[in-house]
Structure formats: structure tokens, C-alpha cells
Chain A
Amino acid sequence: MTDRDLALKSLALRRRLLRLIHEAGAGHTGGGLSCLDILNVLYHRVLNVSPQTVDAPTRDRYVQSKGHCVEALYTVLADRGYFPDADLDTVCHYQSPYVGHPTRKIRGVEMNTGALGHGLPICLGMALAAKLDGASYRVFTLLGDGELAEGSNWEAAMAASHHQLDNLVGLLDHNTLQITGHTREVMANEPLDEKWRAFGWEVRSVDGHDYAQLTAALTTPPPKGKPLFVLAHTVKGKGVSFMENVAKWHHGVPSEVELAQALTELTAAEAKLREVHA
């Protein structure tokens, strides 16, 4: 899939994501839009997974530690054929299996997440299991900025390099905003590259909306024995002008009017992209 194909897909999935959140009446809009390109690259270029191999012992594992952005995950999984697109209309509805945070009841979801600071330790266990079995699969988790204040991440950061887990990848959706406002004002976490390097990780900084940069960072193996941390610089609310870099869209649900405006913008962006490449 070319970068252009991915860009077109991302625009379509952004529209789907916004419709889903509007219908559900709940969801995490800003973070979903900021991590969508990362998920698209993971599921189309990086992860050795498919709807046909959900139980294959050798598949790569992806655990979404920032579980609140489940709508983005469900949208990408539906697009990849794990379940029908129509299922997305039931997210958060009474008695739907599509809970408002990732659940293993849904095909393709590896672990139940939602409480923050859980994904990395779980992925450590998965990466250790691969090493014990001499298996070549890799294990990926996606973290959020605010989440890094959870101490469990740093327990895992220490243990990952101690156990030389070069099959483990931590990705940060570094949009610099959390529910209360700027992460640097809530609980400053910079300098993140130096912190993760000090914990013994290979650190790569990329534009989290640049498919080529993400692909290179995620597919180039880290030095032997080093876990990989990808610091993906992203924009919260990416793709919708009035949502970009606005903290209130962390879990803001678009109204009918706002949804229409957002869809118009995304459709215009798609038309422009097709025109440029025509």
C-alpha cells in the first residue's frame, strides 16, 4: 500500500471514527484522530497479523495501552476485515460486545485495557514468552502522554532493557495534551528521548503522521538486546481544524453540526489529495 493509499484510507477512517463517536454519544475523539495514522501503518505495513490468523501463535501482538482510543482501533480492525463495519454502529450500545475500551471479546483485540499504565508490563510478558519459545514475533504497545505519569510504565521500562527484549516496541502518541490540558503543565514528562535512552531503550523520534517515517522506524530492527521506543510526534484532533490541539476534544463528542463540518473538511482534504495526485 502506497503512502497515498494510506493517506486516503486515513481520511476515510477519520470520517468513520467521527460518525462512530457521534452515534455512540461517547468516545475519545482527539486521541483517536492523533493515533489513527500510527494504527494504519501498524496494521497495513508492520504487524504480522490478519483476520485469518487471530489465534496463530507466531502472530505479532499489539496491545493498546491507551485503551480510551478504542474507537480508532475498532475502526482500523473493521477496515482490515476483522468484523463487519456495521458492528461499529453498536459501540457502547446496551448489550453490545463492543465495550468503550478494548476487550478480547472482539476479534483481533489481544488484551482488555483501559486503565492506564498496563500495556507495557503485559507486552513485556508477551515478549518474554516469545524469547522463551525462540519465536520471532514482535510485541507492540501504544502509549499516551498523560499515561506516562503511571509508575508501572517505568517499572516495565527498567525490566525491558534488563531482559534485553529487542522484540518489544513501545510507541508514544506524543500529542502533548491530556484531559486537563498540556502534559507539560499537568505533569511534565520531558525530555522523553533522554529518559527512555537512560532506561536502556533505542529511541527513534518521528512525525506520527508521516507514513514513511513511521514505517522506517517500526520496521528497522533495533540494536540487538535493546527494546525500541518510537516517539511519534502527533497532533491531537488531527485532520479537523477546530479539533486540532484543543484539549477539550480529548473526550468531546461532536454534535450534528460539528460532525457535518468535520466530515466536510475531511472530504475536501480527500478531494485535494486526489487532485494533487491526478
Chain B
Amino acid sequence: MSAPAPSMFTPAAQAMAAQLGLKQGRANLEAFAETLQTLAQADRNVVAVTSDSRGSGKLAPYGKALPRQIIEVGIAEQNLVGITAGLAACGKKAFGVSPSCFLTARSLEQIKNDVCYSNVPAVLVGISAGVSYGALGSTHHSLHDLAVLRAIHNLTIIVPADNTETRAAVRYAAQATRPVFLRFGKAAMLDVTPAGATFTAGRAVTLREGRDVAFLANGETVVHAQLAAALLAEQGVSARVVSLHTVKPLDTATVLAAGRESRAVITVEEHMLTGGVGEAVASTLLQAGLAPRFKMVGFPDEDTVTGAQADLFRHYGISMEGLAATALALLAS
């Protein structure tokens, strides 16, 4: 019997989540698969394309319910993206689903040319992204995906924070007329989106207002920023939390507001610090003449240590305690 996966949250973080009333959700991947199945049941043009990835994509129930609307290509990611582009060019709402580590490296040229340059309304879904595969190591990590995709013209890149953002992002992608990339992890998420919040691609969601420090985060890191903000509040520090779910096009207005209205800005991402959302935020702030105290939290340019996703998050400071400490140090600097 294998050891249980370590928790993402310390007992103190769990207590804080309970205090904030954050509801336990499921993996974003599961919310994605369920939403896609609902859409596919209503529209026979919706098609999923998998590379022996229906299990890891949580699409086995979809495949059973809608066998004609799932296309298996075998372990062949280049073919997966080409086929997805061809389907999209012929009127299908095609979702190409594959682990982000393979999808955005092996088939990068197909993403660049067949999807983005050809401008077909294909949706590419990078599953088990970031360090979701944890101790399986760097072959299975996608800490490069946002950097390479940001440098490709004509692609909307969305990294949802929780199940609510995931469902909305999938619905957005299904009706988009241009290429979309969605990135999901496989850890069970706490729901951070406030009731009644609306999702618009390219518009960040402010989860909490604050004046001293602003956390600009995305994906599975957002909840840790949310908990850190609550911990900082207990120490008299007012922290803003923003879910920058759309990496491209970046919501520059929200980024600039954070830079103007806070003494310090901290970006948080499950990605290499090189080329990720932190650098996107930094260039936005600098080009507008803003220079708040600034720190990027993510994965440094080094051989990633071994460990489960929770271990790696803690190791690199993506935790309630780690982010709160970073904020205090930055404000004191």
C-alpha cells in the first residue's frame, strides 16, 4: 500500500480555510471532464481527442456515455494536436486533451502552426499540469508551458483557480472562435470564488481587497495566497488577492491597479519564474512606470527537488505560511 499523499495544508492552514468558509471541491480536472460531458451531450459537434489520456483526463465516463464524441489517437501528441486542428477546421468543437508536460513540449510546433497560426477554434487542454505529477520528476512536470505558449501569437491561455473558474473556462472555450489553452491540475481544490462572481476571459477576479500587499496568483496557488492574506490580516497587514486566471491576454488594468494601490506586489505561480505570469506582471508594471516592492514566487531555475506536489509547494514557499512570511519580509525590506 502506498503512503497517502501529503496534505497541501498544514493544520493551521486547514483551520484558516474552515474559518474563511472555503468549501472543499474536487480536482479541477474532474470539474473540467464533467462540464465537457454536459456540453457534449447538448452539442454533438463537441469532440474530445485523447492520447491514451482519457483516464488521467477523467474522461472515462465521458467516453462511455459518448463513444462517438471521443477520438483516441494513441500515445502520439503531435498527431493529437494536428487532428484536433483538422477537426476544428471542419466545424467541430474539438478539445485536445493530454498531459501538459507532453502536449506543450512534444507538440509545440503543431500548437504554433496548426492551431494558432492557422487560427482554428481548437481547445488544447493541458492536464495534470505544473508539478501535479510531483515525485514522478521533471519529465512529467510542465513548468515551461506558460512561458512557451505566451510567446505564441493568437492563443488565449487560462489557468483556473478552482472548480467554479474551471467550469466557466470550459464553457468559454467551447464557444470561443479562436484558439484557447486550458491548464488543469489534479489536486482537490478549495473553492475560492465568491458567490455571484462572473467569469470573463481576460478579466482577473479580485478575491479580497487590500492595501499593503497584493498577491497576484493563478491556478492551484491561488488558495494559498487567499489563506496567507487571512493570516496577514491577523497581524494587521492588509492583503489583496487576485486570481489572474487568464495569463494571456493579461488583465493589465487589474495588475496596474494592484501596483498603484499596494505598497508591495507578490506574484505566485506553479511555473518556472522564467517566462511565467510573474514576468508578465513585472513588465506590465515597469512599462507603466510603477515600481512597487516586488517578489515573484514560483519555481527557480534549478533541478527541481523530489517530492509530491504538496512537498514542492512548501519547499518553494507556495503555502499560507510561506507566502505570509514572504509578504512580511518584503514589506520590511
Distance to closest chain B CB from A96 (angstroms): 17
Give 9 new A-B contacts, CB below 8 A, not counting A125-B49, A132-B44.
Answer: A111-B89, A112-B113, A112-B118, A121-B110, A126-B89, A128-B86, A133-B91, A156-B82, A159-B76
Question: Do most interface residues of chain B lie in helix, strand or loop, or is the interface mixed?
Answer: helix
- B83 part of interface (Cβ distance < 8 Å): yes
Question: Do most interface residues of chain A lie in helix, strand or loop, or is the interface mixed?
Answer: helix
Mask of B74-110 contacts with A, CB within 8 angstroms, 1/0: 1010110111111111111010000000000000011
With known contacts A111-B118, A158-B74, A125–B113 Cβ distance under 8 A:
no
Mask of B38-64 contacts with A, CB within 8 angstroms, 1/0: 000000100101000000000000000
Q: Closest residue of chain B to A57, judged by CB?
A: B91
- B117 part of interface (Cβ distance < 8 Å): yes
In the bound assembly, the distance between CA atoms of A209 and B47 in angstroms comes to: 40
Distance to closest chain A CB from B70 (angstroms): 11
28 contacts between A and B (CB under 8 A): A57-B90, A104-B119, A118-B109, A120-B82, A121-B82, A121-B86, A122-B82, A122-B83, A122-B85, A124-B86, A125-B49, A125-B83, A125-B87, A125-B89, A126-B90, A128-B83, A129-B86, A129-B90, A132-B44, A132-B68, A132-B69, A133-B91, A155-B73, A155-B79, A156-B79, A156-B82, A158-B74, A159-B79
Distance to closest chain A CB from B153 (angstroms): 12
Distance to closest chain A CB from B165 (angstroms): 29
Q: A129–B92 contact, CB under 8 A? A: yes
With known contacts A132-B47, A159-B79, A125–B90 Cβ distance under 8 A:
yes
Q: A113–B113 contact, CB under 8 A? A: yes
- B268 part of interface (Cβ distance < 8 Å): no
Q: Closest residue of chain B to A113, judged by CB?
A: B113
In the bound assembly, the distance between CA atoms of A237 and B157 in angstroms comes to: 45
- A273 part of interface (Cβ distance < 8 Å): no
In the bound assembly, the distance between CA atoms of A162 and B44 in angstroms comes to: 22
- B114 part of interface (Cβ distance < 8 Å): yes
Within A106-130, the residues touching B (CB, 8 Å) are: 110-115, 117-118, 120-130
- A residues contacting B by CB (< 8 A) are 57, 61, 104, 110-115, 117-118, 120-130, 132-133, 151-152, 155-156, 158-159, 162-163
Q: B86–A118 contact, CB under 8 A? A: no
What residues of chain A lie closer than 8 Å to B109, measured between beta carbons? Answer: 115, 118
| Ranked 3 nearest A-B pairs via Cβ | A125-B86, A121-B82, A129-B90
Q: Closest residue of chain A to B75, judged by CB?
A: A155
What residues of chain B lie closer than 8 Å to A104, measured between beta carbons? Answer: 118-119
Q: B71–A128 contact, CB under 8 A? A: yes
Q: B90–A61 contact, CB under 8 A? A: yes
Q: Closest residue of chain B to A119, judged by CB?
A: B82
Q: A159–B83 contact, CB under 8 A? A: yes
Q: B84–A125 contact, CB under 8 A? A: yes
Q: Closest residue of chain B to A67, judged by CB?
A: B113
In the bound assembly, the distance between CA atoms of A61 and B118 in angstroms comes to: 15
Q: B82–A124 contact, CB under 8 A? A: yes
What residues of chain A lie closer than 8 Å to B44, measured between beta carbons? Answer: 132
Q: Closest residue of chain B to A156, judged by CB?
A: B79
Mask of B110-137 contacts with A, CB within 8 angstroms, 1/0: 1001100111000000000000000000
Q: Tell me which of B81, B87, B113 contacts A128 (CB under 8 A).
A: B87
Q: Tell me which of B83, B90, B94 contacts A121 (CB under 8 A).
A: B83
Q: Tell me which of B73, B78, B83, B84 contacts A151 (CB under 8 A).
A: B78
Mask of B10-52 contacts with A, CB within 8 angstroms, 1/0: 0000000000000000000000000000000000100101000
In the bound assembly, the distance between CA atoms of A156 and B73 in angstroms comes to: 9
Q: A126–B87 contact, CB under 8 A? A: yes
What residues of chain A lie closer than 8 Å to B71, measured between beta carbons? Answer: 128, 163
What residues of chain A lie closer than 8 Å to B87, measured between beta carbons? Answer: 125-126, 128-129
Q: Closest residue of chain B to A105, judged by CB?
A: B119
In the bound assembly, the distance between CA atoms of A110 and B118 in angstroms comes to: 9
Distance to closest chain A CB from B327 (angstroms): 45
Q: A122–B89 contact, CB under 8 A? A: yes
Q: Closest residue of chain A to B77, judged by CB?
A: A155
Q: B86–A126 contact, CB under 8 A? A: yes
Q: Closest residue of chain B to A163, judged by CB?
A: B71
Of A104, A117, A133, A159, most buried by chain B (CB within 10 Å of CB) is: A159
What residues of chain B lie closer than 8 Å to A111, measured between beta carbons? Answer: 85-86, 89, 114, 118
Q: Tell me which of B68, B79, B88 contacts A124 (CB under 8 A).
A: B79
With known contacts A112-B117, A113-B113, A122-B83, A155–B76 Cβ distance under 8 A:
yes
Q: B78–A125 contact, CB under 8 A? A: no
Q: Closest residue of chain B to A124, judged by CB?
A: B83
In the bound assembly, the distance between CA atoms of A242 and B121 in angstroms comes to: 46
Q: Tell me which of B49, B78, B85, B119 contacts A155 (CB under 8 A).
A: B78
Q: A110–B89 contact, CB under 8 A? A: yes
Of A57, A132, A162, A163, most buried by chain B (CB within 10 Å of CB) is: A132
With known contacts A111-B114, A152-B79, A156-B79, A123–B86 Cβ distance under 8 A:
yes
In the bound assembly, the distance between CA atoms of A117 and B114 in angstroms comes to: 11
In the bound assembly, the distance between CA atoms of A61 and B71 in angstroms comes to: 20
